[in-house]
Structure 1
């Protein structure tokens, strides 16, 4: 170490001690780390005279801060040097001595006092850090002290590394000396003081500024320790951990591993803490990290599930158009009025005030979601009236980028209310972003009900009539996501969404995106199975009352007026009238010329129209051409497609989409065959030929069920003679029934379901259906049948054994039966003399074993 010190510092501690003792032999020197008098072995150690104020004024990245270049503090240190130049020069002169005292051959207490002195000295700014860094090996010796048993030494060493790493040019030297590895080991200690944790985390915070070190930190063992520090009792440790995570989140490649370690729930918990319990700094860092993670669609869902809603920042100027309704009778956010018990509203709005004060009272039985909607609306409207919304975000943002696509995070109660408030503004860009955010946030039933109770439905339905495609697309998408809840879907229809949607559908000059979203929502509203599903999913569960019933009873008890049953019936009848011949013709036009997705949605809407007999007014030629376009897809004809060989995943997706579209069209044709008017004009043989080709195609088995049903219905109209076997029934058995039963044997985990499939498959083969055994073998049914011999029920095992015996009559199936492991299973059946052991013995004699 002596070789690393300049020649003008060539003195020894003994000479220094003699000089100090000669000037003041009786006075002990105060050491900066403790401020107390310390003597050891009859000698007194000296430290440079540091200005106490400079240590705090120029403290690098202090009070929860991190990643700050110490060059910003150069002015502060220069002012201190001008105030007392002699003291500064004396401090600079002793740097070499303290660096030498860090040596491994020095006494541990000397090393501890030296690193404490250097740490305090480094707080002066970049000039002091430069003075320390001119001695090679200083960082290595400091990193070595991180393994010390002394808490004071560890804290000082981590603090010195924190100061040095705050300077950009020294950051690589700190990382290269193994600081991250030693800090990882230090943070792994079970009993570590908060002060040491804070310095270690702030050092990592500074290192994370460099993207290379950022990736290294995220993919090391220290990341779980950083996330665990968010639960520390010391607020400074939490702030430092939040700062490290916010910096790590700047690299998108770190997001996956951060989410895997569970960072989202912890940050959301820190963000949702009240002001009295949390720290402003940790909330800021948590929000910064979550906003970076929210750029990913999947991670945004995880954030919303924790009760945090992303809300667009539209600029404080956009809220100037907000006009609150004054002296109006109190109502719930969704527009439900409250029964008037007085002659008139109070002149000063006291009725509204008393309603808000008594929302938690016993006299008003309001559900939690409605209560949150009232509280959130009151809070956000108050902020809008006083002009306090987004003031803080405006201060933090650049003037030229006040609202461009940025987001903020709010608790669910305030976030839902803020989004509804933005829907009522005049700024079209703000309205569009709010509707898009509502669509993104409608991830579960709770969020959809929250938006419904907050009054989003009424606003979004009104936006469907705006002369702005962007607003129409966003509002339609939001309503479609909200309509996933059956109860909310009924409210959307009751609010009158059907008419503007149909008017949009009639327009031929609209974008494909708007057409797609419109068909999405219409399909959901006019879903023929919706009423049937509501009986199963909205009815009583385990003897309890359904949600909708309990809500309606509480509404009636408290004087809330909503949509009556008569209004619901009239709405249902009116939608039948809206689907006139022009709408149906437009849907068949979409069926002929659009993509697979649009064709499937159009077919679903036409299915509802066919139930109402409105299709009778359409020209049968249009119906035929529309169905032909679906049943003659190119995907079905390209049996040796290049896409299948080069891009099998893309081909599988195309075949899956085609299968769903064909299934919807087959279901539509099946419903149309119930109409006498259509049956008289339809060419059944033409559609029979098309559907037979579809049945033999490569579309998924679950998409062939309606194709088979439609073929059976067409064959009944054709009138096959009872003396001849119907070829359609045979094809349905070979290409739909047998593959479906084999799929049930493979995928089902229920022994009862496997038994039913095996028994049915045995019946088909026993009846001697042509090529049935070949269809079972080519469809991969041998392996699941062999598994049933020992794992299935007694009846399933007997049916499987019978099927395998019939398959063994064809010698081409012998290798597959043996490869499936049938021989050992059959031998065990014979040796155990199970009821079917004779059939098992016959099968063994048939196989070449």
Structure 2
């Protein structure tokens, strides 16, 4: 029949409706027969997450669409679901020939032509859409006719929602088959659907069919880039909040498929997809499982990038490893005789008498009435999270749903899920208490990744993670120990958490790790151990009392007292085992530990040198320890720090290929030198060390560092140490001393100029300019040259307008001395000094004579009109 019908043949409406009714009868019969014989299930395409194949299985979303047909009178539409077809209708139409009915396909394909009536075109696309619901053989019959896709795409521009829905639905069916997906995309379906979805008002059915077409197209990796680079991303993100659940599901499915391509991650993140997807998982209201699943899949793909992972966690979601429900069989919940908090804090017992059923222990133990106990939010969240996760573990329901979904998708060692941070923290702490080494390792790594801000680190502390991690340092597996040390390293960034880590007795196991040979511990683990120790044994925290049985300098804190953080951020004294602390102190001064620290000074990176020097400075507070430090060849370690290659170079210039890297190297080298200088200054307090050191050798090294290009603030301790070294030969305050001259030129003067430039305090600026004036007035050699070279002229001129009387007078004096050198005249004029000096002279202020002399000093360099 199709071969005899001309392309531009015009049908009468009555004839067209009769033919459509015949085709509709066949569609209903075919759909019913198909639904009775074919099981409905979703398949996974090897190239993507979602692709519903009709030649193998039925798409459950397609099966829910109502079948539309025109009544015989051509006036009204009848909506008949597949389930409404009775058995008698099937028996009546069973004998109809499918081949003869398939012949009508050509008729309706031709009716899609642009020269036909819009109503006829609409009814034709509706009939063809319902016809394709029969399966792949029906789709093949339609695709035999060239131009079907293009004519269908043209109907997406229709003003009728029914036509747009049917056209999008037909494209959705066609794109669900691999063989036709490219044809749909190459015909411009993505662009046409983009234009359709940009309309201000669309029915939910049109949105659903259109986005589901994109869902099918996004299975193809090369099409994902086209979808992500179009204007669809904002539309899809907006649809995540649509009132229709099917629209939300399909939008989430498209985004999940787009996230499978790493090339799309940047543009998706910039479009703001992470907060909107995270909102679906954090929603308090009940959300569709499909929506939550697709949102989770998309975020898991995006979180494979470290930066994106932080963005996901900032939205309140944490990556938690799926270790398998079998691993939780080793979980043995502790049967508490009295309530306690997750971090191990015992709640004071309020009831003295026994309770028959335990109710009094639970109620009175909380001391709510007696003590008016007010738990912090973090503690309450820790209690709630622990209760929920332990309940799931007890009943065996934890990860059960994830295990069922993961069949055939790889082992659990590669899988993660996303949980709200309260549940995630409790789940990770729970996994730390299991016996499975792989599960413990992955949990510790996740804790390290999640400890990216103060809130998360404090949450892990309150949830009891620290005690588990410290116990696991003794684990026989190297992999477990490395992951645990990494977690403690990230957690110790917080001062409060670091205090808790110290209070739990972490020093002894860490020092033991430092004692081990290099073959027994990895390089990265040793570096993290040094980092943690440097944070705990920070000299700035004044923790000197830990090395003494008695008080130090009148302090009441001794070995039996250690600091723990309180809820208000302060510190309190908590009793600890004095024996363990004494053991830690003796371990620190063992020759093996000291030789390891000195070895770090000799060979390691500047950042690690800084931390090793900080630990040695902490140890050096006790004179008996100094002898052991000297025996560890501390002198050679200090010399290695002071002889770094970056210190001997001339700095960096604009011609260097990577000046920012050279600047970073100088910054790190300066910090290491500053820490080593502090250590040297501390050791110089002891006669035993002063008798063994060569002061002239270290004076020469430090003088070279003082004139190097390291940052100015790193030269403070270098200058102080130089002054201390020069005093070993006796007190010498004469400025003609070479050491004093260099300290003044390369540390004192630059520091004073920096204060004049950057300080917001008038008092600080006044004190700095007065001190600078004193140095110059004493006639120090090269002082004026250094002042001019360091850019002091501009801030001094500015101070003439904004400073106090004393500051203005000192500035005028300095500028007068600088004007003695004709090379400085141009800089003084450029700084705008002439108009200011003229105003001072004309106003006859108290210092106008000094301003006049300065103006006359540079008279030959000034324009005649500007001479006062």
Same fold (TM over 0.5): yes
Q: CA deviation at 1:439?
A: 1.5
How many Å separate the matches in 2 of 1:330 and 1:694?
Answer: 60
Alignment of 1:306 onto 2:315: yes
CA change 1:746–1:125 in 2 (3 A) is farther
1:476-515 matches, within 5 Å, as 476-509=485-518, 510-515=521-526
Report the 3-state secondary structure (helix = DSSP H, G, I; strand = E; otherwise coil) of the residue aligned with 1:611. coil
**What is the alpha-carbon distance in structure 2 between the residues aligned to residue 189 and residue 413 of structure 1?**
41
**2:155 pairs with one of 138, 145, 150:** 145
What are the within-5 Å matches in structure 2 for residues 98-113 of structure 1?
98-113=108-123
Aligned to 2:55: 73
* Counterparts of 1:613 and 1:674, CA distance in 2: 9
Asked if 1:367 is matched to 2:371, the reply is no
- How many correspondences in the alignment? 805
Q: 1:541 maps to which residue?
A: none
Q: Deviations over 1:279-338 (max 9, x none)?
A: 111111111111112222222222222221211122222222222234643322111223
Shift of 1:702: 2.6
Instruction: Say whether the 8 Å CA contact 1:494–1:568 is kept in structure 2.
Output: no
CA contact (8 A) 1:232 1:238 kept: yes
List per-residue Cα deviations over 1:232-254 (Å, max 9, x = no partner). Answer: 22222211111111111112222
Which residue of structure 1 aligns with residue 646 of structure 2?
635
* Equivalent residue, structure 1, for 2:223: 213
Is residue 139–residue 161 contact of structure 1 (8 Å, CA) maintained in 2? yes
Which one of the candidate residues 108, 129, 136 is aligned to 2:146? Answer: 136
Identify the residue that residue 598 of structure 1 maps to in structure 2: 608
Q: How many angstroms apart in 2 are the aligned matches of 1:181 and 1:277? A: 34
2:430 matches 1:448? no
Distance of aligned partners of 1:264 and 1:19 in 2 relative to their CA distance in 1, 3 Å threshold: closer
Query: In the alignment, what sits opposite 1:273?
Result: 283
Compute the displacement of 1:216 (Å): 2.5
Looking at structure 1, the residues matched to 785 and 709 of structure 2 have their Cα atoms a distance apart, in angstroms, of 17
From 324, 330, 333, the equivalent of 2:333 is 324
CA distance in 2, matches of 1:98, 1:361: 83
Q: After TM superposition, list the pairs within 5 Å mapping 1:548-567 onto structure 2.
A: 549=566, 565-567=574-576
> Residue 407 in 1 paired to residue 407 in 2?
no
Q: For residue 472 of structure 2, what is the aligned residue in structure 1?
A: 463
- After superposition, the C-alpha distances for 1:557-613 in whole angstroms (9 at most, x for unaligned) are xxxxx9963339887776544432423343223323433333222111011111233
Q: What SS does the aligned partner of 2:417 have? A: strand
Q: Please list, as runs of the form range in 1=range in 2, the aligned pairs for 1:571-650 lying within 5 A after superposition.
A: 575-582=584-591, 583-618=593-628, 620=630, 622-639=633-650, 645-650=656-661
Alpha-carbon distance, 1:689 to partner: 0.8
Distance 1:675 1:386, change over 3 A: same
Structure 1 partner of 2:184: 174
Determine if contact 2:820/2:857 at 8 Å carries over to the other structure.
Answer: no
Conserved? CA contact 2:472–2:484, under 8 Å: yes
Equivalent position SS for 1:7:
coil
Q: Does 1:689 align with 2:700?
A: yes
Query: Counterparts of 1:343-354 in structure 2 under 5 Å?
Result: none
Distance in 2 (CA, whole Å) between partners of 1:261 and 1:751 is 47
Distance 2:685 2:504 in 1: 33
1:459 deviates by 0.9
Q: Distance in 2 between matches of 1:832 and 1:50?
A: 108
Q: Does 1:232 align with 2:264?
A: no
Tell me the secondary structure at the aligned position of residue 123 of structure 2: helix
Q: CA shift at 1:532, angstroms?
A: 9.4
The answer to whether 1:160 aligns with 2:142 is no
* Aligned equivalent of 1:431, options 440, 445, 470: 440
Which residue among 161, 174, 185 is the counterpart of 2:195?
185
Quote the offset at 1:551 in angstroms. Answer: 7.1
Q: Distance in 2 between matches of 1:278 and 1:356?
A: 38
Residues 124-133 or 788-797, more deviating: 788-797
Is 1:663 matched up with 2:659? no
Per the alignment, in what secondary structure is the counterpart of residue 770 of structure 1?
Answer: coil
Q: C-alpha distance in 1, partners of 2:32/2:362?
A: 53
Q: Which of residues 747, 759, 771 in structure 1 aligns to 2:782?
A: 771
SS state at 2:240 partner:
helix
Higher deviation after alignment, 457-466 or 256-265: 256-265
Evaluate the alpha carbon distance shift between residue 632 and residue 158 of structure 1 in structure 2; reply closer, same or farther with a 3 A threshold.
Answer: same
Aligned pair 1:296/2:316, yes or no? no
Whether the aligned pair in 2 keeps the contact of 1:47 and 1:117 (CA below 8 Å) is: no
Confirm or deny that 1:674 pairs with 2:685: yes
Q: Alpha-carbon deviations, 1:527-552, whole Å to 9, x = none?
A: 1223599xxxxxxxxxxxx9955579
CA RMSD of aligned residues (A): 4.4
Aligned equivalents of 2:759, 2:114: Cα separation in 1:
69
SS of 2:576's equivalent in the other structure is helix
Q: Does 1:340 align with 2:349?
A: yes
Pair 1:420 & 2:416 matched:
no
Cα separation, partners in 2 of 1:232 and 1:694, compared to 1, 3 Å: same
The separation in 2 between residues aligned to 1:51 and 1:359, in whole angstroms, is 70
Given the alignment of the two structures, is residue 7 of structure 1 paired with residue 18 of structure 2, yes or no? no
Shift, 1:359, TM fit = 9.6
Residues 1:174 and 1:60: Cα distance change in structure 2 (over 3 Å): farther
Counterpart CA distance in 2 for 1:200 and 1:794 is 77
Aligned position for 2:63 = none
Question: Is 1:379 aligned with 2:388?
Answer: yes
- CA distance 1:823–1:550, shift in 2 (3 Å): closer
For 1:834 and 1:107, the matched residues in 2 are separated by 97
Q: Is residue 736 from structure 1 mapped to residue 732 from structure 2 by the alignment?
A: no
Instruction: Give how far 1:628 is off.
Output: 0.9
Structure 1 95/739 Cα, relative in aligned 2: closer, same or farther at 3 Å? Answer: farther
Instruction: State the secondary structure of the residue aligned to 2:323.
Output: coil
Task: Find the aligned partners of 1:236 and 1:205 in 2 and give their Cα distance.
Answer: 12
Query: CA 1:67 to 1:431, structure 2 compared with 1: closer, same or farther past 3 Å?
Result: closer
Please state how far the C-alpha of 1:168 moved relative to its aligned partner: 2.8
Change (3 A) 1:575 1:768: farther
Post-superposition shift, 1:522?
Answer: 0.8
Structure 2: state its 5+ residue gaps. 60-81, 83-89, 545-562, 864-868
Change (3 A) 1:177 1:758: farther
How far apart in 2 are the matches of 1:697 and 1:157?
75
Instruction: Give the distance between the partners of 2:761 and 2:34, measured in 1 at CA.
Output: 73
Gaps of 5+ in 1: 33-45, 534-545, 554-561
Residue 352 of structure 1 and its aligned partner are, at CA, apart by: 7.7
Q: Give 1:56 shift.
A: 7.3
- Shift, 1:669, TM fit: 0.9
1:273 and 1:847, CA in 2 relative to 1: closer, same or farther beyond 3 A? same
What whole-Å deviation, never above 9, does each CA across 1:107-136 have from its counterpart, x for those lacking one?
222232222223223333333333333333
CA shift at 1:762, angstroms? 5.4
With 101-110 and 60-69 compared, the bigger mean Cα shift is at 60-69
Deviation at 1:777, TM superposition (A): 4.4
Superposed counterparts of 1:75-94, under 5 Å: 84=94, 86=96, 88-94=98-104
Q: Please state how far the C-alpha of 1:270 moved relative to its aligned partner.
A: 0.7
Q: Among residues 713, 721, 746, which one is paired with 2:724 in the alignment? A: 713
CA contact (8 A) 2:500 2:564 kept: no
Q: Which residue of 2 aligns with 1:122?
A: 132
2:532 counterpart (521, 527, 530): 521
